[in-house]
Amino acid sequence: MPNSTPARYTSTAIALHWLMFALIASGFALAVYMTGLPLSPQKLKYFSWHKWIGVTGFMLVVARLAWRLTHPAPALPAMMPAWQQRAAALIHAALYALVLVIPPTGWLYSSATGVPTVYLGLLQLPDLLEKDKALAAQLKLIHVTLNYTMLTLVVIHVAAALKHHFVDRDGVLRRMLPFIKPAGE
């Protein structure tokens, strides 16, 4: 049944997906770890690394969206219920939106705290706001809330992918796994 086997994502799309996953996971883990540390040169270094991850992730998601506009995603399996197809589209759209919005909220937060963002220790990005302690507190809450929202959506995304792989066995996950061809190829 070749029509029931979904097509594979391009190698570029797969590479961008997994690179984004690595950046998001490491940026989130670093943020959770570093926020509990006392103020020190090491903590400031971690904050810099976190910012570098965010700026890099933002640039990669822009590249990924550009790639996606010219290389559409493979169709979902025809036997997948319509509500699952809509849910998948909504989750993907929300994840893209969050990956686009979260880095600028971090940059705004950093600007409002008066701490510049210096990408890779080489390129100082302009401050977007004047230093404002009250605004910084609000922006921090927004940044953290958006990140935990993304974590929730990523967990749902992963759970759905695993359900498709182990329960439905419909090849959806295999389309995005590097080095593994979808069944039937």
Average pLDDT value for residue range 151-156: 98
Q: Residue 6: its pLDDT value, please?
A: 39
Instruction: Say if 146 falls within a structural domain.
Output: yes
Domain membership flag for residue 185: no
Q: Is residue 45 part of a domain?
A: yes
What is the structure's pLDDT at 182? 57
Cβ burial, residue 15 (10 Å; 0-12/13-18/19+): middle
Whole-angstrom distance, CA of residue 43 vs CA of residue 127 = 21
Supply the pLDDT for residue 46: 97
Is 8 within a domain? Answer: yes
The one-letter code for the residue type at 177 is L
Tell me if 183 is assigned to some domain.
no
Tell me the pLDDT band of 42, cut-offs 50, 70 and 90.
very high
For residue 172, what are the domain limits? 2-176
End-to-end CA distance of the chain: 11
Band (180; pLDDT cuts 50, 70, 90): confident
Q: What tokens were used for 158?
A: 């992963």
User: What is the rounded CA–CA span in Å between residue 176 and residue 30?
Assistant: 26
Each residue's pLDDT tens digit, 123-142: 999 999 999 999 999 999 99
Q: How many domains would you assign to the chain?
A: 1
pLDDT of 1: 38
* Residue 156 predicted with pLDDT over 80: yes
Phi, psi of 6 (to 5 degrees): -70, 155
70's CB contacts (< 8 A; 6+ apart) are: none
181 occurs within a structural domain: no
Whether residue 184 is contained in a domain is answered as no
Residue 18 has pLDDT above 80, yes or no: yes
Quote the percentage of the chain above a pLDDT of 70: 94
Residues 44-93: tens digit of each pLDDT:
999 999 999 999 999 999 999 999 999 989 999 989 999 999 999 999 99
Task: Please give the pLDDT value at position 179.
Answer: 79
The residue with greater pLDDT, 180 or 85, is 85
